[in-house]
Chain A
Amino acid sequence: MSNEPNICVVSLIGKSQFSQNDTKAWKLNSLLQKNVFKHDSSLSEKSVKNLNLQECDQSGSKPDNFHLKTHLDQKNRVMYIHFESIYDSGHLFDVLVNKFDEETDFYELWEDEQLKYVKTILFLFSISHLIIISNPTCEFDISYIRLFRIVDLLRSKIQPSVVELLKSLDLSINKDWIYAGRPCSPRVLFTFENCQPNILKSSQSIEKLQHSLEDQIYNSLRKSYVITNISNNSLFSIPVNQEFVYIHRHNHQITNASRFLLSSFNNHSVETTSPSVDLEQFRKFIFQHVQTALSVGFNDNIGRTNIPPIFELTTPTIWNKIYQSLFEFFLCEPKTQKVMSIYAQLKDQIDIDVQFSERRCKKVLPQAINLYQESLPAHYSKDQHEQKLQLAIDYFQLNARGPKYNLYLDQLKSKCDEIWQNGRRLCESVSLTGQNCVHELHYLMNEGRAEDELEESEQTRTEKSNRIEENTLLLNQKAKNYKIPTKTHSSGILTISASNCGEFQRERKDPFDLKEANLDFYKEFEGVELIKNKMVKKYIFKHAEESEFIYPMIHSECPLNSKSEFDSWSLVSIGEYSDYYPSSGLSQPGFMTSHNFLIPWELHVCNGQVSSLCSKQWSKKNSEKSKSKNSVELLEKKGKTVTIKAYIGLEYECPLGHRFICSGPDRIVRLFNNGSVKDDAYKLLNCDMPLYTACPCRNTKESPSYMAQAMRVFIVTPPGLVAEKGDDKKTTTVNICIKPQVQPNPQPCPVFWPSFEDSIVLEDNSIWVLRLPYIYMGDDQKPYYRPKNFETLNSCKILKSMFSVVANN
């Protein structure tokens, strides 16, 4: 052991030209004059094993990614290390092709490889005397300058830890080595290849180029402070009086014939120097430096300086121990916090693209978020959210750059989403009249949940109503401090509506619920209705007793015996025939002046038959113009006829609570000067009536008029027992029947009716009020909104033949 000779350590790094199944290690082989360094993975394993480096496996690093191979040339006392990196095609192929797939994040991979590369370079600079940097072309690669600077920065930061480590090893090496963290400032040599053929022709040209390169390298390294006058202070040194550049005279290319389709390719390059001569010269070039190292050591200080350069040699055994521990220190997982933070800083210096992108995106992100938030209302809809988000994304796209782009774009999206979700999200429930709820997203009273079952009820609630998409849950969990409030919906719109009977008016909130709209609102009047009206008789719509088909409202598309959940219609009687004064009309609130008169409907009873204005002949105009046979007959008949008078009218109600009676489509009841009603019941009996008509309350050109909706049908039934004029003095019972049928939208649209009864026979001698539904809703929970345009508005109608009359003897 003690008579083991000291060795010189030579490392080969750099880039290498693609060459079949070979690496730049042929240079070391040529120095060894043996084919030791092979492109064979089993060999590298062997060399690792020889160095007892298996501990690395256990500590979790991947030694297979560190392509370091060593070989000791005992004869010449040289330890060779070959570093195969991503700058060598073999390793490059491995990393970028074999281990690469669609999911690979290129920048992450690249940063990782660079980090390993820098650490390995520093490792080699800490254990070698000579470093050969292989260049695949004849140009000095200036990217080394930055690399050296980064490695040097890392060296200065990490040196204390290296010193600690070397101390702890307790080896018989000089203290200088320990405190420097390296045996010497390694001497760096450069080799170049693939020289232009015309230069290779003369050795003079080669020498010229060699000197040009030396000048270039020396100059640029000096100017960038990579090398300094005092070699101890620099990452490495360059010999002052020896050549440090070698240009290969021969374009080395080992051709492995089996890999070719061309079996006998002939390299056309003019070989002025045979391969063996080149290798001989190369050996000479390297060995002069090795000899210096083994004899006097390097002194590459420039100018006069008193600081002697540190230069230490040691035996293979001791060197191997240092190699092992430093390998582990540099290339396995860092063991101390300090080293870890140093490596983190190193990351920033290595990949400027990532750092730039990070900064750029960080700067643009808040700007994009601001743009999103700019002039947003307190609560806004999904559409508005998406629109503004797109604006923010466009801005981000234009200003953010680089590998971190997607990461920050995702952040932008989720951040904006979070803002929206956390209290800015509009409820977006639509009222049954088609208005949006103006509140932020909220729970409804009956959906309220106890605080402690927050998570669970959230989920059930989410499933219950489809207003919230799946991702809401996730986002709500993210920002737990925001609680969705509980309140009722509101579109902020108030209208005035009258009660079932029409005697009372009250404000009505824009309804979001069918029962609220068609039943509950009216139910609240019940108490006062009973007090005010002499007699309130309520007609009970006859539904099938038991039915498996239950619908929100009954209409023409429901099966015959279906039932509605509740009555959306109401039919009440509010007085007797005599309680209606034809001279003053209805005395109910909200009616517009002189629009409160019902239309008289004469019923002619003759021979147990009843007739009314049901055919054209009865129209006043016609009866006056043409005195046909028929009319003569009728006149004859008239003598025997008893006429009784009923009063009917269709009431429209506008959102402001204005009410008026119509006698025909879009025809408001009119009066003669004497105060009697001008219109007859003909149109009311024979025409489809519009569901909506313009209210006369706002009839200006500037603003469109309010739309009034048909809400009530008044039928004042006369006493039904009629004593006929005939000889037999028989009596006939006359009853008015109604069959209300509403088609609330253009076709295709079902026709709504209160029940499946054939027609409702109204009790005589009463004032009947049929209140129509406020909202018409189909089975899909979608209400039939009032159409926006006028033409379709006309197809929303109350079908004709609502009124009829029957006589019983």
Chain B
Amino acid sequence: EPVWLFNTSIKQRLAIASMNGSCKLLDEHLHFADTLDHYLSDTNENYTVIGVLGKTGVGKSTIMSLLGGRESSVFRAAGTESEAAKHKTSGIDCYVTAERTILLDVQPLLSASVLDNNISQSEQSKKALDLKYHENNVHMQSIELACFCLSVCNVVILVEDWFFDPNLIALVHTAEMLLPNMAECDQAYQHRTHLIYCLNKCGPIAPLDLKMMKSVYANFMKDSKLQVKGSLHSDINSGSSACFLKARRGPREPDEPNFVALPSMDPAEPSGETGGLNGVTGMKRLVRALSRELLSIKVNTGQSGQALTEKKWFVYANRVWDTIKKSSFISEYSRLMT
């Protein structure tokens, strides 16, 4: 009886506590936190995990909040503290939407502000760090976070607010190389991670330049096993709003790099609802389109891997983080840093 089944699924969904704001998946000391478990279903296998990576103040939290369907309240953005050149998100913040999208807002990668914190913390505790140099420590931490995201997310959005920092993209390369061997785990969760490059706060870009940028991204990720192409229905040549993502029904272009350009939030028109001047679509509308795109990405669980329930995913994520922290690959790598 389909009606009855439908009702139970509704009931089950209603039984899960809904979130008012984000909670921690990794706390500020990068320890795995239990809070999220409370908000996860032990029956639902139909969900998407989206993570975001990028440097300080590129708009990670803002984009994730918009993907969460809320105003900027879900994840706190760094903007307010930017006078002190400080980051806002420490560890990983997490929010589960009503559509069962698990959003992970990750602390900034390669961040000078995190480096600052680490230095002052180690001065307070007078504890010798494993690594000779603090910034190598931050680098390794960034690799670990990226490894984690690539392991547990279906979609990872790499955000930059300028084009483009090879060092950051190289970090994704490194993270992919150092991914933990989860095949040894009893609950192998095989999936292909989609990596989407998001150029945030950009001005208008000529189609030719956009094409170049996409090629740079695709060529840089040439040897990657991540899904860096063909995940989006984006079309760059759709008239005047050329440069920005434009959702379009139709077959996905298999070779089209996963590249999204988002304009700056218009301070004069904070709602971001109307199409800006000359057809440049508002930020919020674009993020909504992006959100639809991301939800329509086929989340495959691989040949052998069964779909995990939300709660099982949580257990898996915990194990991934433990494995990363103990990874011999990562420690071997860190010893090579001069």
Please list the residues of chain A having a beta carbon within 8 angstroms of any beta carbon in chain B. 15, 17-18, 20, 86-87, 89, 92-93, 96-97, 100, 104, 106-107, 110, 136-143, 145-146, 149-150, 153, 194, 196-199, 205, 208-209, 212-213, 216-217, 219-220, 223-224, 253, 255, 259-262, 264-270, 349, 352-353, 355-357, 359-360, 398-399, 401-403
Contact = CB atoms under 8 A, between A and B. Distances in A.
A20 B85 CA distance: 28
Contacts of B212: 93, 97
Given A146-B337, A216-B112, A265 B178 contact: no
B204 A260 contact: yes
15 contacts: A18-B162, A18-B205, A104-B219, A106-B223, A140-B85, A141-B165, A142-B112, A142-B135, A198-B79, A224-B133, A259-B209, A265-B280, A353-B174, A357-B177, A401-B329
A96 B215 contact: yes
A417 to B, nearest CB: 25
B83 A260 contact: no
Interface string B91-126: 000000000000000000011110110010000000
Identify which of A15, A213, A220, A403 gathers the most chain B CB atoms within 10 Å of its CB.
Answer: A220
B280 A142 contact: no
A216 B113 contact: yes
Interface of B: 55-58, 79, 82-86, 110-113, 115-116, 119, 133-136, 138-139, 161-167, 170, 173-174, 177-178, 181, 183, 201, 203-209, 212-213, 215-216, 219-220, 222-223, 240, 242, 264, 266-268, 276-280, 329, 332-333, 336-338
A403 B138 contact: no
A89 B133 contact: no
Contacts of A264: 277-278
Contacts of B181: 398-399
B267 A197 contact: yes
Contact of A265 (B209, B278, B338): B278
Nearest to B178: A401
Given A86-B166, A106-B222, A150-B338, A216 B333 contact: no
A153 B337 CA distance: 13
A404 to B, nearest CB: 10
A141 B332 contact: no
Contacts of B110: 141-143
B43 to A, nearest CB: 33
Nearest to A266: B277
Given A106-B219, A139-B57, A355-B336, A208 B266 contact: no
Contacts of B79: 196, 198
A194 B162 contact: yes
A401 B167 CA distance: 20
Given A196-B57, A209-B82, A260-B204, A356 B161 contact: no
A149 B135 CA distance: 11
A259 B163 contact: no
Give 3 closest A-B pairs by Cβ, nearest first.
A18-B163, A140-B112, A259-B206
Nearest to A198: B79
Identify which of A142, A259, A359, A403 gathers the most chain B CB atoms within 10 Å of its CB.
Answer: A142
B119 A223 contact: yes
Given A142-B112, A212-B85, A106 B220 contact: yes
B114 to A, nearest CB: 9
B133 A17 contact: no
Contact of A100 (B57, B85, B209, B219): B219
Given A92-B216, A139-B111, A212 B177 contact: no
Given A96-B216, A106-B220, A196-B82, 11 more contacts: A106-B222, A107-B223, A140-B112, A145-B133, A220-B115, A220-B135, A261-B242, A265-B277, A265-B278, A353-B170, A356-B177
Contacts of B173: 353
A632 to B, nearest CB: 83
Given A97-B215, A197-B267, A219-B119, A213 B203 contact: no
Nearest to B179: A401
Nearest to A86: B166
Nearest to B206: A259
A140 B55 CA distance: 10
Given A92-B216, A219-B116, A268-B266, A17 B280 contact: no
A137 B57 contact: yes
A265 B220 contact: no
A268 B268 contact: yes
A581 B336 CA distance: 94
Contacts of B174: 352-353
A87 B166 contact: yes
A100 B215 CA distance: 10
A139 B216 contact: no
A208 B333 contact: no
Contacts of B264: 268-269
Contacts of B208: 259
Contacts of A199: 82-83
Contacts of A217: 112
Contact of B116 (A89, A146, A220, A355): A220
Contacts of A359: 332, 336
A402 B223 CA distance: 10
B80 to A, nearest CB: 8
A781 to B, nearest CB: 43
B115 A142 contact: yes
A149 B338 CA distance: 8
A217 B266 CA distance: 31
A196 B85 CA distance: 11
Contacts of A260: 204, 206
A261 B207 CA distance: 8
Given A212-B85, A268-B276, A93 B216 contact: yes
B134 A220 contact: yes
Given A17-B163, A106-B219, A265-B203, A142 B111 contact: yes
B264 to A, nearest CB: 7
Contacts of A216: 85, 112-113, 115-116
Contacts of B333: 352, 356
Contact of B56 (A139, A220, A265, A353): A139
A262 B220 CA distance: 29
A225 B242 CA distance: 48
A153 B332 contact: no
Given A146-B338, A356-B177, A92 B135 contact: no
Contact of B138 (A142, A149, A213, A398): A142
B85 A209 contact: yes
Contacts of B162: 15, 17-18, 136-137, 194
A356 B336 contact: yes
Nearest to B56: A139
A109 B166 CA distance: 13
A305 to B, nearest CB: 24
Contact of B84 (A110, A208, A224, A349): A208
A686 to B, nearest CB: 61
Contacts of A136: 162
Contacts of B338: 146, 149-150, 153, 349
Contacts of B268: 268, 270
B337 A268 contact: no
Contact of B85 (A139, A146, A150): A139
Nearest to A153: B338
B197 to A, nearest CB: 13
Identify which of A96, A106, A266, A357 gathers the most chain B CB atoms within 10 Å of its CB.
Answer: A96
A721 B135 CA distance: 116
Given A86-B166, A261-B206, A137 B161 contact: yes
A86 B115 CA distance: 25
A90 to B, nearest CB: 10
Contacts of A261: 206-207, 240, 242
Given A139-B112, A197-B267, A216-B112, A92 B206 contact: no
A264 B277 CA distance: 9
Nearest to B217: A96
A205 B206 contact: no
B174 to A, nearest CB: 6
